[in-house]
Structure 1
Amino acid sequence: MSDPLAEVVGLLRPGVRMTKVVAGAGRWGVRRAETGQPSYCIVLDGRCRLAIEGSPELLLESGDFVLIPATWNFAMSSLQAPPAHAFDTPPVAQGPGEFRLGAQDGPPEVRFIIGHCVFGSPDASLLVSLLPRFIHVRGEPRLALLAQLVGDESRARRPAREVVMARLLEVLLIEALRSTSTTAPEPGLVRALADTRLAQALRQLHAAPARAWTMAELAQEAALSRSAFFERFSRAVGKAPMEYLLAWRMGLASDLLRRGGGSIAEVAQQVGYSSASTFSVAFARHVGVPPARYARAAASYH
């Protein structure tokens, strides 16, 4: 049976760019501008506030995990509202990979791991669009352990460090995304997979992306009427069913072209297009460049 979540994360090719342990005390605040890169945070001890642009403020507690697949503008701060200038005060380094915010003396009131990742896929934006804007998980000890392992590995200088970190992060992302204790899930693939009927249709779609799917066939897989399926899928995923299918096909096609997985006509056939010309038009519209040029650029990059 196809595993849509693992397939999307696998194509994203996640890696670790930076991870650090941050402690805070007193009134403190830190703000980050939108970067388009994934970020995650796990609270080790204490509590703090997280404000993501366009979403209600979150109160984070010990053990909470937050994943932002494409970082939006966000701010973290002490429970007691900090003065405006606190957000312009950089954290103070206290050791390798460790920083302090707010009052520098006394025991910290909160400690958290924050990490910035990178997705190796040059078309990560196509795949990130299938994920929620952010995901907030509470009470999952496995996530705390995985995040700690990522942090430890990032500060060590062991052989094969980058390979180990990439594998750990891939597991961390999947574990976070599949968690059943997600609070108020945002629209995206994760939310749809939690719906048993939509999950069935998604698994079939991922198992046979080249099939000439119709709305009626997908609705039948979900045991729903066409109208009910369209509405339920669009609300859960944030995309219409055929829009999702197109995004997934283009993600697969990009990966095949990068890896030299066949001629343009062969790639077209593998992702459900009967002719190379039809595929080329769809690919250029969705990705921004024709597939032949995309493949040449990928080959020169490697």
Structure 2
Amino acid sequence: MNITLDELQAFVAVVDTGSITAAAQQLDLTISAASRTLGRLESKLKTTLLRRTTRRLELTEEGRVFLQDARAIIASVDSAEEQMAARRERPVGRLRVDAATPFMLHVIVPLVPGYRERFPHVELELNSNEGIIDLLERRTDVAIRIGHLKDSTLHSKPIGSSRVRILASPDYLKTHGPPKNVDDLAKRSLLGFSQPESLNVWPIAGPDNAPLHITPTIWSSSGETLRQLALAGAGVVCLSDFMTGNDRREGRLVQVLPRLTEDSRQPISAVYYRNTAISSRIVSFVDYLVDAVRGTEFAR
């Protein structure tokens, strides 16, 4: 049957205004277009909804019954549109956010109270995965990714960038001595990533003047695990400022070979699938995150 909303609105308008001419004016249609729309509706229903006389239009019994349903359908659509408009102005519902454990712990978690205060109707679901996930498979609305993006199927918005530094604890350096050059560094216990291998390229020139590709003594897939190992004095590590800023300021970690270290930064982006319309929940969270980190150490 495939009755359209336009046909229902035309029928109700004719009833409410009392004529096809007035209904056409209300709907911004020509009289012939309004008449054809009403005719299509009656044809689809295989019944007469209105009796046309020279003086007026009268509802048939079938028309009176159908009018109630038509009004209910139009009201339901109007209500749905109003709810969507309200959601755009006041985000509502569950928002699933994914980020690697370090970013989740050191950046997102401290911002949650402020975000919830501003957007109390958004239910946050925070998940951590160390690798790149399929957003659809994991039912994720927005993910935070660190590094250069390759997936062209995703929308992305830059959050900031974070410098990476070579670090060790004061106790480790006291016991083993601070390395004086790259050759010294290679003799230390190096803490590195089991994946991705690109994170084991450190921002310091190796023997061939290219960035140093280290072979870890201790491996982990988690940057937070490597941070904890460095704090415990297990070796030298290379990590982003967003997770080690407080450690450096409070003296728990010390930068190693700062004069030889290049200013290397990792871009940080929020990613989400390309949709015809991005939900207000995603917009509210990403914009809040961008505003919160603006001017901070890792956003520069």
Q: TM-score range by the shorter chain?
A: under 0.3
Instruction: Give 1 or 2 for the bigger CA radius of gyration.
Output: 2
TM-score normalised over the length of structure 2 = 0.21
